[in-house]
Amino acid sequence: MNELTNAEIALLCEIGEFNLPEHTSDHDLARLISDGYVERREGHPKSPFILTAKATEFLSARGATLNEG
């Protein structure tokens, strides 16, 4: 598996903060879903996507903190 790009890592942080940008790369999002970092969450009040445990561990290992509020 290839390492995540800076854009993909930034997208993980944005999804984790329920702040999905309007202009999201479909390729980046598709890769994060297929690699198990993000999953679709129907009916979620803040975002149609949510981080998986794999993504949370990945970001924590890199010292990223999320404002999940």
Contact 41, 55 (CB under 8 A): no
Sequential pLDDT tens for the chain (69 residues): 469 999 999 999 999 888 777 767 788 999 999 999 999 988 877 788 999 999 999 998 887 665 554
User: Does residue 39 belong to any structural domain of this protein?
Assistant: yes
Question: What pLDDT was estimated at residue 59?
Answer: 92
Question: What pLDDT was estimated at residue 65?
Answer: 60
User: Does residue 27 belong to any structural domain of this protein?
Assistant: yes
How many structural domains compose the chain?
Answer: 1
Question: What pLDDT was estimated at residue 57?
Answer: 92
User: Does residue 66 belong to any structural domain of this protein?
Assistant: no
**The two structure tokens encoding residue 27:** 């390729």
Query: Checking phi first, is residue 34 left (phi over 0); if not, alpha (psi -120 to 50) or beta?
Result: alpha
User: Does residue 17 belong to any structural domain of this protein?
Assistant: yes
